[in-house]
Amino acid sequence: MLNFYNIFAVTTILWLLFLGQFDSLKAQSKKNSTAAPLSSITLKWGQVPGVKGYLVELSERSDFATVLTSQTVLDPFLSFGEEKLTLYVRITAIGMSGAKGPPSSVVSLKEYSERFREESYESDSFVNPSERLEIFFGDSNSKKGESIAAGNNSESTPKTHLPRKTFFRIDKGEWLEYKGSIPLVKEGWADVEFYSEDIVGNREEVRTVRVLKDTTPPQVIWNPKKIGNSGLPEYRSGDSINFAIQEAGSGLRYLEAEIKSESPSGRKIGVRRIREFDGSPPVFKGEYKIPESLQEGVWILRWISEDKAGNKKSGEFPLMVDQKGPTCEIVLPGLRKENNIFLLNSGSEVHLFCSDEYSGVKEIKVSIQGSVAKEFQYTAPFHLPIGKSTLSIRAADHVGNASDFSYKIEVLDPNWEKNGTKIRVQRTED
């Protein structure tokens, strides 16, 4: 009968397989990921026939000058809590006779808890049309502690241990052998289970990852003003344009909007990337503020949105920016003026002509302050009361810009007292 050492020599190399190390399921992507620290880690190694158990030793030092704790386990795996992840571990196989083989290479639990910590991918839980869901196996540059040769205490780096076969299934369907990628046929969430076997039949535990196939970009709905006199939505500088975004898949990453002049070589203004929104999935809300410095004229609002799976959608629409109020001209008959006061006769009519180049004139308000005070909307020429008056005009356009004008006018009384020059005849003596 083979003794312990012969058995140990002819069997496969004793090696450690950490939960999460054998292979990992990822959506192929260039996006960054963030790591969540492990609260525990499980060591697994290939079971060796003919052994009674395994001595697991822990130390605070890598040279094992002192052994902190030791225990014998029957199964080829052992879990360690978070408080043990700063220690070093080595494993020794124990034969049926009680004889011990040489200890394995030393492994740092801290190093492996960092290397194989659970990764929470910012976007790699999502698969878009340009990505494939793949299983990635070991790292050829992985450190020597990834496997332990129980019969060889050499410090040389062992060969990379890769699985022989890997199997997967989607949403409790049929188990299929992995051939390079995992097909996700339907849109939405799917539970993908997978496991691997090595060349000697060691099989890892089945693991499950929840993956979202998201091929639909965010749907952006702008709420511009109604079409104005210019044939376009009309705004003032500083106005805000509301929008809503529908994103029921992976979640909204950002909306970027900018204002560009109509000419192809025109400059861009107000580039803004919005990442915080009101509302909650699947509907988000926000607003884009037109820059205060924007000049009057026709502009193009361009936008692009992206979800967390990388799906993008873009668009644009024209708008009119009106920054100034209307201009007005007063027309008075005769146009006599003394000391900055216009002089009119009682039959004179006041004519107003106002214009606005972009959004157009919405209303003209007239205010008369004098012997008679009144206010009214200008719709037609009007007369002023006799005497001195201050005529105030306020003209507003359709986007809210306003202009103010003021005139001093005196309407002469036609029945004024006639104390003009008198003719006196004076006799002369001869």
Q: What is the pLDDT of residues 225-235, one digit of tens each?
A: 989 888 999 99
Strand pairing partners for 303?
Answer: 257, 315
More confident position, 30 or 163: 163
Read off the CATH number of the domain in which 271 is found.
2.60.40.2550
Residues 132 and 262 both lie in one domain: no
More confident position, 112 or 169: 169
pLDDT at 79: 86
Residues 82 and 167 both lie in one domain: yes
Tell me the per-residue pLDDT of 173-225, one tens digit each, with 9 for 90 and over.
999 998 888 888 788 888 899 988 877 778 888 988 888 888 899 999 999 99
**Does pLDDT of 388 surpass 60?**
yes
Whether 341 maps to a domain, the answer reads: yes
Range 29-44 average pLDDT: 53
Q: What band does 241 get if pLDDT is binned at 50, 70 and 90?
A: very high
Dist CA 398 CA 359 (whole Å): 6
pLDDT at 391: 92
**Does pLDDT of 397 surpass 80?**
yes
More confident position, 280 or 37: 280
As a whole number, the mean pLDDT across the chain is 77
Range 371-396 average pLDDT: 91
Query: Which range (97-111, 311-325, 361-375) has the least confidence?
Result: 97-111
Residues 304 and 198 both lie in one domain: no
pLDDT at 33: 39
Q: What band does 137 get if pLDDT is binned at 50, 70 and 90?
A: low
Residues 53 and 165 both lie in one domain: yes
pLDDT at 10: 24
Whether 430 maps to a domain, the answer reads: no
Range 337-346 average pLDDT: 84
> Taking the CB of residue 232, how many other CB atoms lie within 10 A of it?
19
Q: What band does 128 get if pLDDT is binned at 50, 70 and 90?
A: low
Tell me the per-residue pLDDT of 45-91, one tens digit each, with 9 for 90 and over.
767 777 889 999 999 988 899 999 999 998 888 888 888 888 999 88
C-alpha to C-alpha distances, 382 to 47, 305, 346, 379, 404, nearest whole angstrom: 107, 55, 11, 9, 19
Q: What band does 127 get if pLDDT is binned at 50, 70 and 90?
A: low
pLDDT at 161: 52
Q: What band does 419 get if pLDDT is binned at 50, 70 and 90?
A: low
Element (H, E) at 152: none
Residues 18 and 145 both lie in one domain: yes
Query: Tokens for 39?
Result: 């609260």
Range 231-240 average pLDDT: 92
**Does pLDDT of 135 surpass 80?**
no
Query: Coil, strand, or helix at residue 320?
Result: strand
pLDDT at 279: 85
Residues 310 and 340 both lie in one domain: no
pLDDT at 163: 62
Range 111-140 average pLDDT: 53
pLDDT at 144: 39
**Does pLDDT of 361 surpass 60?**
yes
Read off the CATH number of the domain in which 359 is found.
2.60.40.10
Cβ–Cβ under 8 Å, residues 212 and 259: no
Dist CA 25 CA 208 (whole Å): 9
More confident position, 85 or 170: 170
- The residue out of 213, 241, 261 marking a domain boundary is 213
Prior bond of 163 cis (ω within 30°): no
Residues 42 and 86 both lie in one domain: yes
Per the structure, the count of domains in the chain is 3
pLDDT at 48: 72
Residues 166 and 186 both lie in one domain: yes
pLDDT at 84: 87
Q: Which domain holds residue 306?
A: 220-321
pLDDT at 264: 59
Residues 189 and 281 both lie in one domain: no
Residues 35 and 92 both lie in one domain: yes
Query: Tokens for 313?
Result: 């959608």
**Does pLDDT of 17 surpass 80?**
no
Whether 104 maps to a domain, the answer reads: yes
Query: Tokens for 308?
Result: 């967390």
Whether 425 maps to a domain, the answer reads: no
Residues in the chain: 430
**Does pLDDT of 303 surpass 90?**
yes
Range 33-41 average pLDDT: 53
Dist CA 186 CA 99 (whole Å): 57
Q: What percent of the chain has pLDDT over 90?
A: 31
Closest to 376 (Cα-Cα) out of 361, 355, 387, 391: 391
Whether 424 maps to a domain, the answer reads: no
Range 26-51 average pLDDT: 58
Whether 67 maps to a domain, the answer reads: yes
